[in-house]
Amino acid sequence: MKFSIRSVLSQAMQGQTGWKPQWRNPEPRAEYDAIVVGGGGHGLACAYYLASRYGLHNIAVIEKSLVGSGNVGRNTTIVRSNYLLPGNIPFYETSLKLWEGLEQEINYNAMVSQRGVLNLFHSDGQRDVAIRRGNAMRLHGVHAELLSRDEVRARHPFLDYDNARFPIMGGLLQQRGGTVRHDAVAWGYARAADKLGVDILQNCELTGLRIEGGRVLGAETSRGYIAARKIGLSVAGNSSRVAAMAGMRLPVESHVLTAFVSEGIKPLLHSVITFGAGHFYISQSDKGGLVFGASVDGYNSYAQRGNLPCVEDTCEEAMALMPALGRLRMLRSWGGIMDMTMDGSPIIDRTPVEGLYLNGGWCIGGFKATPAAGLCLAHLMARDEPHEVARAYRLDRFATGRLLDETGGGTNMALH
Ligand SMILES: Cc1cc2nc3c(=O)[nH]c(=O)nc-3n(C[C@H](O)[C@H](O)[C@H](O)COP(=O)(O)OP(=O)(O)OC[C@H]3O[C@@H](n4cnc5c(N)ncnc54)[C@H](O)[C@@H]3O)c2cc1C
């Protein structure tokens, strides 16, 4: 069913009784040409691009729970391409360009909103770092704008400019950045992939990998064995557990990241704002709630909920940036499992097992990468070679030392 003004009006006339399920609920086949493990944003995007751009149609996505129940439906929805390193900027810019055309391409309202992402700085040193990053972006043809303190104040008068410890001195703005309705991305890609013949198998957990002679032959699942000579792993926070099924030990640790949403208020925040003196980011959803978060918990966990010190830390940063937030009531908080790499950058690469591919290590920032990660994993699976914008995301960089340490955080997970 195509969404259009006509279909919306005709449904209104029928009392909204004619909508059909957005994707099928098929039984698993005995064999597929390719299986993507993980029905999050990345896995579904990969299946869609395999079918739409690489001509494969006998594909399944296997998801242990429901489509969109992982991090794709739990994040704070921020998208941007304001990176520093040459290994990262072209990748994230490819992603942002895909976001810009996504709704037309898949005929789905994902509420892509380029309301701007503003990174605040609070010291002379931080200003230098922001200028360097803005210049690196501009050298790659990505627009960035340095705002003075007065320009930031004119846009966002309610921030605490004269905080004795963290005075706001200005900000780096990427106007093309913004937010996207997270779960609509999963639903939109699922619907578009299904339309191209992809089988989306929900409640189908990968429980083992059949490997013989160094080559993958198929997937053991909770719904039986499914043969496939190409399998892409795209399971976010579960990357190390799933890779262990192929005997691999990944340079990844799983940590919980928590997000928060306040009661709905009238329009206040017109862009995404990040607090440079800590790690705090905030935006306002179209329903009016303020959506925000900070850093990961300091220890490894597979729990999908955060802890109280993390709540305290987030609230402290919120109050330092925007004291008026203290008057708001919180509606909800929730957590997701992050697959944190040792340099803060992701992995999209072949594995030592022939036919087995890995997309993971997205740390706390993989939502913005969804279209490009899907495209690059699809390219890798179809052509058996990396996409040109994802060449730096090699699995062996942790052994060779060619790290991609965007934030300069080293191996401290909490800093990525
Ligand atoms: C609180 C929070 C805030 C965030 N904020 C942002 C942000 O503002 N911007 C940004 O860019 N990123 C953000 N992120 C990160 C982003 O959400 C993730 O990096 C990204 O969604 C990961 O890719 P995915 O969508 O494919 O993951 P997921 O949606 O987690 O998909 C992985 C899927 O694999 C499935 N799976 C796992 N094991 C198996 C198995 N054995 N068999 C079958 N299926 C399996 C899971 O059920 C899951 O559905 C945030 C994350 C969180 C938790």
Which of 377, 378, 381, 382 minimizes the C-alpha distance to 393? 377
Ligand 1 centroid distance, CA of 43 (Å): 10
State both tokens at 271.
Answer: 């862009």
The DSSP element (H or E) to which 357 belongs, if any, is strand 356-360
Closest approach atom of ligand 1 to CA 41: 25
Per-residue pLDDT averaged across 243-267, rounded? 96
**Cα 79 to averaged position of ligand 1 atoms, centre (Å):** 14
Residue 132 has pLDDT above 90, yes or no: yes
Nearest-atom index, ligand 1, CA of 62:
43
* Two structure tokens written together for 324: 């008026």
Q: Which atom of ligand 1 is nearest to the CA of 179?
A: 8
Binned at pLDDT 50, 70 and 90, residue 416 comes out as confident
Residue 260 half-sphere exposure toward CB, CA atoms < 13 A: 24
CA of 21 to the centre of ligand 1 (A): 24
Quick: pLDDT tens for 290-310.
Answer: 999 999 998 999 988 888 999
CB atoms within 10 A of CB 132: 12
Q: Closest Cα to atom 32, ligand 1: which residue?
A: 235
Q: How far is the CA of 323 from the centre of ligand 1 (A)?
A: 31
Q: What is the C-alpha to C-alpha distance for residues 62 and 202, in angstroms, rounded to an integer?
A: 6
> 29 C-alpha to center of ligand 1: Å?
26
3-class secondary structure, 196: coil
Residue-wise pLDDT tens digits, 87-128: 999 999 999 999 999 999 999 999 999 999 999 999 999 999
Terminal-residue alpha carbon distance, the chain = 42
Residue with tokens 């995007």: 45
Mutate to test the pocket of ligand 1, among 42, 46, 71 (most ligand atoms within 8 A of CB): 71
Rounded Cα distance between 66 and 99, Å, is: 23
Atom of ligand 1 at shortest range from CA of 256: 53
pLDDT digits (tens, 9 = 90+) for 194-223: 999 999 999 999 999 999 999 999 999 999
Say how many Å lie between the CA of residue 74 and the centre of ligand 1.
Answer: 8
Nearest to 280 by CA among 244, 238, 322, 328: 322
Kindly list the protein residues whose Cβ atom lies closer than 6 A to any atom of ligand 1: 37-43, 62-65, 69-72, 74-78, 205-206, 234-236, 238, 242, 257-259, 293, 336, 362, 364-368
Could you tell me the domains of the chain? 30-78+182-252+343-415 (3.50.50.60), 109-176+254-341 (3.30.9.10)
Q: Spell out the residues 6+ positions from residue 325 whose beta carbon is closer than 8 angstroms to its own.
A: 262, 290, 318, 319
10 Å CB burial of residue 101 (0-12, 13-18, 19+) is exposed
Cα separation, 365 vs 293, whole angstroms: 12
Q: What is the pLDDT of residues 40-69, one digit of tens each?
A: 999 999 999 999 999 998 999 999 999 999
pTM: 0.97
Per-residue model confidence as pLDDT tens digits over 2-27: 899 999 999 999 999 999 899 999 99
- Token match 């980011």: residue? 281
Q: Which residues lie across from 62 on neighbouring strands?
A: 37, 201
Nearest CA to ligand 1 atom 35: 38
Helix (H, G, I), strand (E, B) or coil at 170: strand
Is the pLDDT at 402 greater than 80? The verdict is yes
pLDDT of 407 over the 90 cut: no
pLDDT > 90: percent of the chain: 94
Atom of ligand 1 nearest to the CA of 65: 47
Cα(73) to ligand 1 centroid in Å equals 8
Task: Please identify which residue in the block is written with the tokens 């058996």.
Answer: 384
Cα 40 to ligand 1 centroid, rounded to whole Å = 6
Residue 408: the pLDDT is 86
Using pLDDT thresholds of 50, 70 and 90, give the confidence band for residue 415: confident
pLDDT tens-digit series, residues 345-364: 999 999 999 999 999 999 99
